[in-house]
Amino acid sequence: MSPEHFDVLIVGAGLSGIAAGYQLKRKCPGKTFAILEGRGAIGGTWDLFRYPGIRSDSDMYTLGYSFKPWTDPKAIADGPQILNYVRETAFENRLEEAIRFHHRVRRASWSSSEARWTVEAERTVGEGAIQTVRFTCNFLFMCAGYYRYESGYRPEFAGEADFKGRIVHPQAWPETLDYAGKRVVVIGSGATAVTLVPAMAKTAAHVTMLQRSPTYVVSRPAQDALANKLRQHLPARLAYHLIRWRNVLFSMYFFQLSRRKPHAVKELILGGVRHALGPDYDVATHFTPRYNPWDQRLCLIPDGDLFRAIRDKRASVVTAEIDRFTEHGIALKDGSEIEADIIVTATGLVLQVLGGIEVTVDGRAVDFSNTLSYKGMMYSDVPNLAAALGYTNASWTLKCDLTCEYVCRLVNYMDRRGYRQCTPHNDDPAIKPQPALSFTSGYVQRAIAKLPKQGDRRPWRLYQNYALDIVALRFGRVDDGVMHYS
């Protein structure tokens, strides 16, 4: 039996996969497409993560879709709200009809002679049995996120077998975990840790955030007063886009200010922490990083919930290195010990390219670390393939929305001109490859050698700038001389 064929195959039914389906349905009428989803539900990250307090660290006016206004009073939304928003978008646009659940894509091979991809997926059937199925498509659109879903980053600690309590990772949170009245230690200082600590502190006996080094933490109101007021007096879509642009412009301004005046921004952030925790708290030790703002992502906390938990003595922060796990907790290198009934290893994600699938072009395996990223969505010498990836310094969906629009422009352009293949190709030997990301975060540095590179100029440069990307992706030419058509 011949593989089922589609004009476009989308991989992933998360935030970006649903955006891709919406845009294709609206802007490429008549084109056939399917969405292959490895799990059994819509939502991606927002369906996978189930730990207490799970929420976005971006406001929903920029994390939300450009085509679907966010109307909830809460600007910093929790995980279930975001999941409902994504699923509502899918159902309103009848995208669930295009989704093939339990189809985990493993391989994709391109044939230039046929000008098509053959995509191999493992389909779960019956009682966990695995069946290999194949599809073909003219264009492959990867919306599988940027990290490994199967498991997070989990370093081994000496003495783990000695610990008599429970050890859990946030990416595989047990539904039956009861932490009420228990002593909890959360290892980590990133977005997951600052979310978990105040959420668990509501019922735990005490929660300790154990960090090797601090992160910049910024408090922001969970509700946007101006947005809520505008919605009362303006049409929902107009109010949404006004607030969206206000937030985009402010985040761009703040990022540029951090780059140009890092010391001033550092003092501004630390001043907010001192105000929240009082003059007697050791902000220098626990909330003053060794790096400048935006060398790593800032951690956002709504309504100062982490600071409030610390002030109320329901939570505390310890900045020290771990020596080993003990029978009753964690021994630190300074000789002290933190007692615990539960240890949460909020130690991060494992980054991977294109959902970890194997990609070949005309029988040649593609090593993406040797490719250049074209406009932040395609890869040098890899035909008819795009990936929806968001910003590191702003909301993920802003770039994904633009990428989805651009893919539609590209598909329509090829259709009008009778082209079957489009391949970004670097003809300029003066282009200098550079790391794709400049972040010093551990999860980035662990994977940087495997990631595609960027160039030192357009269209190979990643500007991490929404305004520049609007110009390039929404209005820029698709026949720019770098994209080769045939």
Q: Do 463 and 377 contact (CB within 8 A), yes or no?
A: no
Report which of 233, 31, 54 is spatially closest to residue 141, judged by C-alpha positions: 31
CATH of domain 160-345: 3.50.50.60
Report which of 22, 381, 398, 57 is spatially closest to residue 389, judged by C-alpha positions: 398
Q: Do 209 and 188 contact (CB within 8 A), yes or no?
A: yes
Residue-level pLDDT at 295: 87
Residue-level pLDDT at 437: 79
Residue-level pLDDT at 436: 82
Q: Do 148 and 305 contact (CB within 8 A), yes or no?
A: no
- 160-345 has the same fold as 4-150+350-485: yes
Token pair, residue 216, equals 């910049």
Q: Convert the pLDDT of each residue in 236-292 to its tens digit.
A: 999 999 999 999 999 999 999 999 999 999 999 999 999 999 999 999 999 999 999
Q: Where are the domains of the chain?
A: 4-150+350-485, 160-345
Residue-level pLDDT at 2: 84
Measured torsion, CA atoms of residues 167, 173, 177, 183, in degrees rounded to the nearest 10: 50
Residue-level pLDDT at 31: 96
Q: How far is CA 82 from CA 39, 89, 90, in A?
A: 18, 11, 13
Partners of residue 365 on adjacent β-strands:
360
Peptide bond before residue 435 is cis, with ω within 30 degrees of 0: no
In this structure, is the dihedral angle defined by the CA atoms of residues 75, 80, 84 and 90, taken in order, positive or negative?
Answer: positive
Second CATH level (architecture) for the domain 4-150+350-485: 3-Layer(bba) Sandwich (3.50)
* pLDDT tens, the chain, 486 aa long: 789 999 999 999 999 999 999 999 999 999 999 999 999 999 999 999 999 999 998 999 999 999 999 999 999 999 999 999 999 999 999 999 999 999 999 999 999 999 999 999 999 887 778 999 999 999 999 999 889 999 899 999 999 999 999 999 999 999 999 999 999 999 999 999 999 999 999 999 999 999 999 999 999 999 999 999 999 999 999 999 999 999 999 999 999 999 999 999 999 999 999 999 999 999 999 999 999 998 888 999 999 999 999 999 999 999 999 999 999 999 999 999 999 999 999 999 999 999 999 999 999 999 999 999 999 999 999 999 999 998 888 888 999 999 999 999 999 999 999 999 999 999 888 899 998 877 777 777 888 888 899 998 889 998 888 989 999 999 999 999 999 999
